[in-house]
Structure formats: structure tokens, C-alpha cells
Amino acid sequence: MGKPKAKVSISKCLACCGCISVCPQHAISWCGNKALINDEECISCAICIRTCPVGAISGDGF
Ligand code: SF4
Ligand code: SF4
């Protein structure tokens, strides 16, 4: 088991683009009209979690 990764709640995401532009790993892309985090790239830095205006991104313990 690796480190927990950030997850987007699809039902909460407003597609504002904020998280995509701040991710230092460029781990977030669009899936349809929602943000999608690539587990392989995410380093669990929590920047996207702090950036999301609607609290749509969560991390398990970070
Ligand atoms: S936790 Fe950090 S590395 Fe992972 S998706 Fe969010 S901003 Fe990118
Ligand atoms: S910052 Fe939040 S609302 Fe905006 S695209 Fe990312 S997950 Fe969706």
C-alpha cells in the first residue's frame, strides 16, 4: 500500500479548473467535465485540497 492519494468527489466538483492549474505534479486532468486525479502522479501534497472552493477534494489523513 502506497501513500493515500487525493480524490475528487465527482458530485461536488464544479469544474472550476482551480485544482488543475495548482497541482505541481500535473496529476489532475479532465474526465468528461470533472477533475480526475492520476494516482500514479499524485504526491499527496494537499495543495489541490486547499485550493478547491467547494471542498470537492479530500485526502485520507493529509
Ligand atoms: S495532492 Fe498535490 S500532487 Fe496530488 S493531485 Fe493534489 S495538488 Fe496534485
Ligand atoms: S478545484 Fe474543486 S471544483 Fe474546481 S475543478 Fe478542482 S475539484 Fe472541481
CATH of the domain at 49: 3.30.70.20
Number of domains the chain contains: 1
- CA 13 to ligand 2 center in whole angstroms: 5
With a 6 Å cutoff on the Cβ, whether 52 touches ligand 2 is yes
Which residue, 19, 15, 29, is CA-closest to 59?
19
Q: Evaluate whether 6 touches 37 at the Cβ level (below 8 Å).
A: yes
pTM, 2 dp: 0.94
Domain range holding 43? 7-58
pLDDT in tens, 6-58: 999 999 999 999 999 999 999 999 988 999 999 999 999 999 999 999 999 99
Whether 19 maps to a domain, the answer reads yes
